[in-house]
Amino acid sequence: MVDLFSDEDHFWLNGYVNKQNCCIWTEANSQVYVETPLHPEKLTVWCALWAGGIISPYFFNNDEGYNVTVNGYRYRAMITNFFIPELNNHDVQEL
């Protein structure tokens, strides 16, 4: 049996930081308001880690190279067209 951990995350391309996922510790007044776009452009990246190493990151974009929203169809396509072939490049039986 091989344990494999995978996750995906969003990276905002304008430097935006999701304050719900980030904690800032400061002695100064932290009640600073920063205006941000309602829907900043972001890139979603998937990666996996296992005993055999790291399955290289997968960037969710379309055929023209534009960033896209991840849905069930795109996630399934990533598993079928990227992850399984990438995993087949490793000798899982030796682990």
pLDDT score at 34 = 63
Question: How far apart are the C-alpha atoms of 43 and 51, rounded to whole Å?
Answer: 27
Q: How many CB atoms lie within 10 A of CB 91?
A: 8
Beta strands in the chain (DSSP E): 4-12, 42-50, 53-59
pLDDT along the chain (95 residues), means of 10: 86 76 68 69 91 90 90 95 90 67
pLDDT score at 58 = 95
pLDDT score at 40 = 78
pLDDT score at 21 = 64
pLDDT score at 16 = 74
Contact (Cβ atoms closer than 8 angstroms) between residue 4 and residue 50: yes
Contact (Cβ atoms closer than 8 angstroms) between residue 59 and residue 45: yes
**DSSP letter, residue 63:** T
pLDDT score at 94 = 65
Helix (H) or strand (E) holding 77: helix 72-78
